[in-house]
Amino acid sequence: MSAATGHGEPRSVDDLLGVVLDGGTWRSWDSPVAAPDPATGGYAATLARARERSGLDEAVVTGEGRIRGRRVAVVACEFTFLAGSIGVAAGRRLVAAVERATRERLPLLATPASGGTRLQEGTIAFLQMLKVTAAVVEHKASGLPYLVYLRHPTTGGVLASWGSLGHLTAAEPGALVGFLGPRVYEALHGEPFPAGVQVAEHLHAHGLVDAVLPAAQVAEALHRVLRVFDGARTPPGGRVAEDDGGPGPTTEAERVPATGSGAADVAGVPATESVRWSRHADRPGLRELLAAAAADVTPLSGTGAGEREPGLVLALARFGAASCLVVGQDRRGQRVRPLGPAGLREAQRGMRLASELRLPLVTVVDTPGAALSPAAEEGGLAAEIARCLAELIALPAPTLCVLLGEGAGGAALALVPADRVVAAQHAWLSPLPPEAASAVLHRTTDRADEMAEQQGIRALDLRAAGLVDRIVAEAPADGGGFLRRLGAVVEVELTALVGRADGERRAARRRRFRHLGTG
């Protein structure tokens, strides 16, 4: 057992496929491989022993199977074959499988368990990572999901290429996952690599993998993800391919008008009252919205580059029949740590994923304001806000912004640009919280209520200014009714956006921003 991971022997690829795929559905795509040229002397004998020990002719197997009835392409390593190392033949097999998955429009599950490059074959084996990466890039450019499940252990060039390119990445509990193998580190430095750093759970805590899942839970997780993906490609009112569980429009959605403001029953309460409502401790936030009104929610974690913030939620989800990727501010997470540059970089990851997967993007604004600290300044807070704005304005995917609660400052504005904007009745948007605006203009916070009224921050004011398209009424003691209504509106808005031609939709987005404030 590894002292670094607490993990036992690596799981065999046969065992993994038996757990993840529907029984009896595995079909190999592999052709027999010839021995490498030259495969002489000791290496030829080593290959022969590896084949005898593993029962395989190479360190990777490729093929297809079904997960809850859906066809899925799979590329997987067998660690008992020379530590899952990648040489010329393995690289050739991987590329052929990825290209076939792309041609046949299949989602691709990659599940490495590897020590990296096959050193017996030298630099040409090292260069296989380039060709495999190129094939994966083409697969992703076709709008097809590339899903990675890192097994124990995954290190070296495999992790530094096709093991780290997933749209979504999960890891086996306790798995050793790292660029530098611990044995190499110890040989070079004369001391063990620090314990716990290259462990799946540690990587998850640092936003490098989205989830830590035992193999027995992988199929269900992939099923949820693929339902969202399939839903984005199902015409409104259609069915999800190869699945009898795809929902039609929700009952609430069928009652929501396809057009119009939805604001006829919204009372014009004072801005100060909306600010107080938005800050109430029991007010529902994004997590409650997803729990009450969304299905097949798959949380993602972090930037994929070592950063993770509790105040930013990133998830795949479906609102009724409408699939989307959600990027939003979690009001409770921001009590733990105010939203900073890392959270905005995480939001940008979500924007890129929506574009790559061709999913509509839903942004949710609910923030008392960004982190105000030396660390936030040094981390490029202002630049990250600007990058979010630029990404959203140019994003090819349909976009919907939901103003859910507080909307203070640049951290709020960073998620606002969208094709359509929906607001809760008591949501608001302002350059600064009213207290801060009062301090700037009047050198006291005592005139905060006056500033809230003067600055036109309410949902009704924002609708009059041309930013908000639809307002969802709130009521005291409404329970989950407000969240269900809001979820139904999100479904209707997304369905309408997906139904518009891309050129028409993006031209309308440009007109929206061009004419804000022009009356």
User: In order of start, what are the domains of the chain with their CATH numbers?
Assistant: 13-230 (3.90.226.10), 257-475+484-513 (3.90.226.10)
Indicate the SS3 state at residue 389.
helix
Q: Quick one: how far is CA 160 from the chain centroid?
A: 20
269: how many CB neighbours lie within 10 A of its CB?
Answer: 15
Residues 164 and 357: their CA atoms lie apart, in Å, by 17
One-letter amino acid at 283 equals R
For residue 292 the two structure tokens come to 């009450």
Specify the DSSP element, H or E, that contains 439.
Answer: helix 434-442
Alpha helices (H) along 262-357: 271-278, 286-293, 333-336, 341-357
Convert the pLDDT of each residue in 264-277 to its tens digit: 567 788 999 999 99
Unique residue bearing structure tokens 């050129």: 503
Convert the pLDDT of each residue in 441-484 to its tens digit: 999 988 988 898 889 999 999 999 999 999 999 876 676 799 99
Q: How confident is the model at residue 234 (pLDDT cuts 50, 70, 90)?
A: low
Give the pLDDT mean for 432-448.
89
pLDDT of residue 177: 96
Alpha helices (H) along 213-269: 215-231, 251-254
Residues 109 and 168: their CA atoms lie apart, in Å, by 10
For residue 80 the two structure tokens come to 């008992």
Contacts of 22 (CB under 8 A, 6+ apart): 65, 66, 67, 68, 69
The answer to whether the CB of 295 falls within 8 A of the CB of 289 is: no
Convert the pLDDT of each residue in 312-366 to its tens digit: 999 999 999 999 999 999 999 998 999 999 999 999 999 999 999 999 999 999 9
Indicate the SS3 state at residue 464.
helix
Phi, psi of 75 (to 5 degrees): -125, 130
pLDDT of residue 475: 78
Contacts of 478 (CB under 8 A, 6+ apart): none
pLDDT of residue 40: 63
pLDDT of residue 102: 98
The answer to whether the CB of 336 falls within 8 A of the CB of 374 is: no
Residues 272 and 284: their CA atoms lie apart, in Å, by 19
β pairing state of 420-424 and 470-472: parallel
Convert the pLDDT of each residue in 29-63 to its tens digit: 999 987 665 556 789 889 999 999 999 999 999 99
The answer to whether the CB of 270 falls within 8 A of the CB of 306 is: no
Q: Quick one: how far is CA 404 from the chain centroid?
A: 21
Indicate the SS3 state at residue 317.
strand
Residues 213 and 50: their CA atoms lie apart, in Å, by 29
Q: How confident is the model at residue 515 (pLDDT cuts 50, 70, 90)?
A: confident
Longest dimension (CA), the chain: 86
Q: How confident is the model at residue 11 (pLDDT cuts 50, 70, 90)?
A: confident
pLDDT of residue 472: 95
Convert the pLDDT of each residue in 140-153 to its tens digit: 999 999 999 999 99
Residues 75 and 99: their CA atoms lie apart, in Å, by 11
pLDDT of residue 480: 77
One-letter amino acid at 123 equals T
Residues 70 and 479: their CA atoms lie apart, in Å, by 37
Convert the pLDDT of each residue in 71-107 to its tens digit: 999 999 999 999 999 999 999 999 999 999 999 999 9
Contacts of 227 (CB under 8 A, 6+ apart): 240, 243, 245, 246, 296, 318, 323
Convert the pLDDT of each residue in 399-411 to its tens digit: 999 999 999 999 9
Q: What percent of the chain has pLDDT over 90?
A: 75
Convert the pLDDT of each residue in 171-225 to its tens digit: 999 999 999 877 888 888 888 888 899 999 999 999 999 999 999 999 999 999 9
Please return the burial class of 22, using the count of CB atoms within 10 Å of its CB with bins 0-12, 13-18 and 19+: middle
Q: What is the pTM of this model?
A: 0.90
- Mean pLDDT, all residues of the chain: 90
pLDDT of residue 235: 45
